Structure formats: C-alpha cells, structure tokens
Amino acid sequence: MSGKSIAVPAHAVTGVLALAVVSTFFVSSTAALVSGDAGFQHDVKLAILWGLLGLVPCLAATGAAGASLAKKRRDTMTATKYLRMKVVAVIGLGILVPCAVYLGWRALQGQGIPYPVQYLELAAGACNITLLTLNLRDGLKLRGKRLSA
C-alpha cells in the first residue's frame, strides 16, 4: 500500500475522531455549565484534561496525513483547508489547551470554575468545531463524495 493510500483513510478517520472529541468536550462543558452542578463541572474539566492526551496526537496525525495528501495539490479548496487547520492549531494550542489545563488544575484543587475562562473556552471550541466541520465538508468534496442536504 502506498503512502498516499494510507494517508487517505488515516486523515479521514483521525479527522472525524478529532471533530467528535472536540464536539464532545464542547457539549459536556455546556451541559455542566448549564446544570450549575459544581461536581459535574469539576468532573467534566478533569475528563477534558485527560482527554487532551488523546486529542492532541489525533489532531497532529490528522494534520500530518492532510499535509502529506496536500503536497502536490495547488487548488483553492486545499489551500483553504490548510489555512483553516493553521487557525485550528493556533486556537487549540493558544486558547483551548491552556484553558483546559487551567480549568482542570482548578478542578483538581477543588476550586470553582471561573466563568470568563469557561466562556472563552466555549467560544474557542465553537470556532474550532466550525472550522473542522468546514474542513470535513471540503474534504468530502475533494474526494468526490456527495453531501446530502
């Protein structure tokens, strides 16, 4: 099997998995916030902190496989996907990971969740979910898959 033929399913699987994990983090954080239950909020923050151990390598694998697939492509859609992934990485490493670590640390210490940090994390998460979803859509278009409306 060639490198390109391995990269296609690897990129697809890791990309969908990363989107599912980021979406799960977002939904769980929102549910915990809306519930007002401090115990639930702490549990979610700790779960997200541990979940980063799987998510970060998954996103790295997605990016590596995507870069491998995009090497020889010069079309606008591929360039747009690449740019979106740069933004996802900046938001993820610059906002989401630090927020998750800080909120998880506070949960470990038995301290409350500061709402401004939680809201920042949710806003950044919503941006990344949107960008990852757009990349999934465009990836399907590049592979010639039809999207049902």
Q: How does the average pLDDT of the chain come out, rounded?
A: 91
Element (H, E) at 71: none
In a domain, 148, yes or no: no
Q: Is the pLDDT of residue 143 over 90?
A: no
The average pLDDT across 17-22 equals 96
> What mean pLDDT do residues 106-115 have?
92
CATH (domain of 13) = 1.20.120
In a domain, 74, yes or no: yes
Angular region, 14: left φ>0, alpha ψ -120 to 50, beta rest: alpha
Residue 50 lies in a domain: yes
Report the SS3 class of residue 145. Answer: coil
Q: How many Å apart are CA 138 and CA 106, to the nearest integer? A: 38
Report long-range pairs for 37-41 (Cβ below 8 Å, ≥24 apart): 38/112, 38/113, 41/107, 41/113
> Looking at 44-48, 67-71, 80-84, 130-134, which range is the least confident one?
67-71
- Segments forming the whole domain that contains residue 7: 3-140
Residue pLDDT, tens place only, 35-69: 999 999 999 999 999 999 999 999 999 988 888 88
User: How many structural domains compose the chain?
Assistant: 1
pLDDT attached to residue 96? 97
Distance, in Å, from the CA atom of 145 to the CA atom of 149, rounded to the nearest integer, reads: 13
Is 149 domain-assigned? no
In whole angstroms, what is the distance from residue 128 CA to residue 121 CA?
Answer: 10
Residue 87 falls within a domain, yes or no?
yes
Q: Kind and range of the H or E element at 21?
A: helix 3-35
